[in-house]
Structure 1
Amino acid sequence: MLKFTYTETGLHLEHLPQSVEDWMTLRVILSLRTGQRLIVERGTAAFLLPTNLVGLPSLESAIQQETYGTVTLTKSDAEYVEVSLHGTWVCSSSEEVNGVFVASLGDRTEWLIFKLWRETQNRASPLRR
């Protein structure tokens, strides 16, 4: 499962071994125990990757093998490709800009998306580890 956390300062991506259903169950229990409002809805999320990433052709190949069509790549311009995923949005308010998006894809596709995103984060800041 891929977990995207959207905040005012940016996007953070995690690759988690559990299923969306197991993660969602724990999130609902947490919400009930803390009395926190929880909004869950199907939707899409997207982020950009540079077109010059070495692993991008491998990701394109993995996406073609996905059976549910839950992820697409669209060329944005000469420098970037947009990765769009279908999954589930979780937030505490419909007006909230912060939230979590979870999606379940094939293992290889998830791993490649996570690897390529992490590579772009390392490029953005040479001080990051």
Structure 2
Amino acid sequence: MLKLTYTERSFYLECLTQSLETWVAKRAVFALRIGENLYVEPSTASFLLPVDLPGIEILKAEINQYKSEIITLCACDSQYMEVTLRGFWLSNGSRDAVGLFVTTISDAPVSPIEVFLHQLWQEAQAANSVVSEWYDS
């Protein structure tokens, strides 16, 4: 299962071993216990990966092999590829963009494509932090 946590300034991608149903059920119980509203609705989430990131071509091949409607890739421009996922948006119901997005690409507890996508995202984040450090110095 993939979980994207959206904050006011960024997002964070995690690869979890729990099933989607188990994780959402636990999140619902947590919200109930703390008295928080919880809205769950079908949705999509997108994020960008650099096209020159090693592994992008492998990701394309894996997605074509799965033939899944859960994940799609689309070229944005000469520098970035947009990854779009279908899943569920969880929030407290406010209209802001803070919340959680969860999805699963296959019935396996953790699919190889989820693990690989998470690794690519981490590599992209590491590359961005190196560039940021260079510009800040």
TM-score (ref. length: structure 2) = 0.88
Is 1:118 matched with 2:130? no
- Which residue number in structure 1 is paired with residue 104 of structure 2? 104
Aligned match of 2:90: 90
Q: How many angstroms apart in 1 are the aligned matches of 2:124 and 2:41?
A: 29
Match of 1:36 in 2: 36
When structure 1 is superposed on structure 2, of 26-35 and 101-110 the one drifting more is: 101-110
- Aligned-residue CA RMSD in angstroms? 1.2
Give structure 1 regions of 4+ aligned residues with deviation exceeding 4 angstroms: none
Q: Which residue of 2 aligns with 1:60?
A: 60
The one-letter amino acid of 1:86's match is: R
Question: Contact conserved, 1:74 with 1:83, CA < 8 A, in 2?
Answer: yes
Alpha-carbon distance in structure 2 between the residues aligned to 1:38 and 1:96:
14
**Comparing both structures, which one devotes a greater share of its residues to helix?**
2
* Counterpart residue identity of residue 9, structure 2: T
Q: Which 5+ residue runs of structure 1 have no aligned equivalent?
A: none
Return the letter of the residue paired with 2:96: E
TM (normalized to structure 1)? 0.94
The alignment of Structure 1 onto Structure 2 pairs a total of residues equal to 127
Looking at structure 2, the residues matched to 59 and 4 of structure 1 have their Cα atoms a distance apart, in angstroms, of 18
Per-residue CA deviations over 1:6-50 (Å, capped at 9, x if unaligned) read 001201010101111010010000011111000100010000000
